[in-house]
Structure 1
Amino acid sequence: MRIRIVAVLGDYYHREEWSVESIKQAVRDHFENDQVVVENISVTELATSLLTKPDAVILFKENRVNPEAEKVETWMDPLTEKIICEYVKNGGSWIAWHSGLASYPTQGDYLSMTRGYFIRHPEIHQLVNYRVSGAKLIDPSYDFAIIDEHYFVHCNEAETNVFLRSESIDGASIAGWAHEYGEGRVVCLTPAHLKEGLLHPNMTRMLAQVIKWGCRLV
């Protein structure tokens, strides 16, 4: 079975090439040769691309287009939000990864799909411990610790399956959750920000595992 993934990666604060490299490593090390094809696209191409029904979408991009501007703009308009939710309801897989959880609507259809969102992160990067917990989506041996931008999130824990938690000197938070939405599947994953974290072997193992879960390979 060949898996086709559409990836929307990188924003003002997050280097696209680092997330591209992380996905490449996850695919190279944890899938059979040529089992996965990844198409890197822009947000302007996303709505049209979803109509072709890819097996999964990875979003590593925040909603704000120009976060440092006086008038901040966002890319997810109501039509795109509707198309995304319909894609997942009809059997697609949506992976909201790190900045893919940031500055998106905190009410409405998209939130009913993700069931959580980014709230804040401390200004200074610290050592963050990521511990597999709860839902049996990820092997417990995938625990790891990295210097990271520690994401604190809101998560409707009663309506999803938490599989990862994070802890640092700044506190503790949920770091990964997954659930079905209609006929599709949704995964939300908060690590990582820096290149070293994105390429940590257990980070890419975890990324590969959530792709497999989203595409019903496990």
Structure 2
Amino acid sequence: MKKLVALVGDYYHPADYLSKALTMLSQPDWQLEIYTRVTEVDWKHLPDYDLFMLATWGKVGPESDGEYWITDYQQQKIADFLAAGKKLFLLHSGIASYPRTGLLRRISGGHFVKHPSEEQELRVYKTMETEFTAGVSEFVIKDEQYFMEISADQITPFLAAESEKYGESIAGWFREYKSGQVFVLTPGHNLAVLENEMMQRLIKNIIKY
């Protein structure tokens, strides 16, 4: 039985659609706990879980708000979690607006820079064959196109997104950190994206991997 814990929802990404999508994806051999407040997560006992999903950005409020919710303590607990051989999954806003000089940025291998003001029609395709892209074929979604700054020597890209107006951007990557694994998927701004069959397959593959 895989034990999964997810922290979801923020100022721009309602927890309801994220919770609905994760519940819809849940499998009989998964024990899934979903939280919408940082205070609900048992940070001390995070290594009791197999996977920790962040689908919430680092700010407390809107972009203009300079306050971050994540503390040095929580970032260290995530590092300890990975040192215990566990898995961190950063979905969409889970890679956005965290301190760029913080430990989580070093753990993730990249951070969000910008996206166009309007959602784009994106052609999403894998850039490598691996266990967590198994069975995934090219698909089209309407979503925010995230543009990222990455530490290219530290990550392994496996997914790209391309729009007619803005060209190609990285949409998914993997890296090892200490004894654990870090996965990033940048699509996921709305429920329709997370309901897409190929997105569901990607998420399930990552959790099962």
TM-score normalised according to structure 1 size? 0.88
Identify the match of residue 154 of structure 1 among 149, 157, 181. Answer: 149
Is the alpha carbon distance of 1:44 and 1:166 closer, same or farther for their aligned partners in structure 2, counting shifts above 3 Å? same
For residues 145 and 179 of structure 1, the distance between their equivalents in structure 2, rounded to whole angstroms, comes to 25
Question: What aligned pairs does 1:80-95 form with structure 2 within 5 A after superposition?
Answer: 80-95=74-89
**Deviation at residue 135 of structure 1 after TM alignment:** 5.1
Residue 59 of structure 2 corresponds to residue 40 of structure 1 = no
Alpha-carbon distance, 1:46 to partner: 2.8
Greater shift in the superposed pair: 39-48 or 123-132: 39-48
- Distance in 2 between the 1:142 and 1:55 partners? 27
- Give a deviation string over 1:147-190, Cα, whole Å, max 9, x none: 10111111222212111011112221111011221111110110
Instruction: Say yes or no: does 1:188 pair with 2:184.
Output: yes
- Structure 1 residue 109 displacement after superposition: 2.4
| Counterpart pick for 1:115 among 100, 109, 120 | 109
CA distance in 2, matches of 1:172, 1:159: 20
State how far apart, in whole Å, the 2-side matches of 1:100 and 1:14 are: 10
Instruction: Indicate yes or no: 2:93 matched with 1:128.
Output: no
Task: Determine the C-alpha separation between the residues in 1 that align with 2:67 and 2:103.
Answer: 20
Q: Which residue of 1 aligns with 2:55?
A: 60
State the distance in 1 between where 2:171 and 2:59 align.
21
1:106 aligns with 2:105: no
Matched residue count: 206
- For the residues of structure 1 that align with 2:24 and 2:139, how far apart are their CA atoms? 17
Shift of the alpha carbon at 1:47? 5.0
What secondary structure sits across from 2:26 in the alignment? helix
CA RMSD of aligned residues (A): 1.7
Matches within 5 A, 1:196-207: 196-207=192-203
Partner of 1:165: 160
- The question of whether the paired residues in 1 share the 8 Å contact of 2:43 and 2:77 is answered with no
Deviation at 1:25, TM superposition (A): 2.6
Q: Which structure 1 segments of 5+ residues have no match?
A: 29-33, 214-218
Q: 1:178 aligns with which of 166, 171, 174?
A: 174
The residue matched to 2:199 in structure 1 has which SS?
Answer: helix
**Code of the aligned partner of 2:19:** V
Q: Is contact 1:47–1:84 with CA below 8 Å preserved after alignment?
A: no
Deviation, 1:24, is 2.3
Report if the CA contact (8 A) 2:47-2:84 is conserved: no
- Contact 1:7–1:57, Cα closer than 8 Å, also in 2: yes
**Identity, % of aligned positions:** 31
The alpha-carbon distance between structure 1 residues 68 and 158, as it changes in their structure 2 partners (threshold 3 A), is closer
* Secondary structure of residue in 2 paired with 1:174: strand
Q: 1: CA distance between counterparts of 2:45 and 2:166?
A: 38
Would you say the 8 A contact 1:133–1:140 is kept in 2?
Answer: no
Q: Give, in angstroms, the shift of residue 140 of structure 1.
A: 5.8
- Unaligned runs of 5+ residues in structure 2 are none
Runs of 4+ in 1 over 6 A off after TM superposition: none
Letter in 2 for 1:194: N
SS at match of 1:157: coil
Question: 1: distance between equivalents of 2:72 and 2:44?
Answer: 17
**Kept after mapping to 2: 8 A contact 1:10/1:61:** yes
Find the counterpart in structure 2 of residue 24 from structure 1. 23
The answer as to whether partners of 1:148 and 1:194 remain within 8 angstroms in 2 is yes
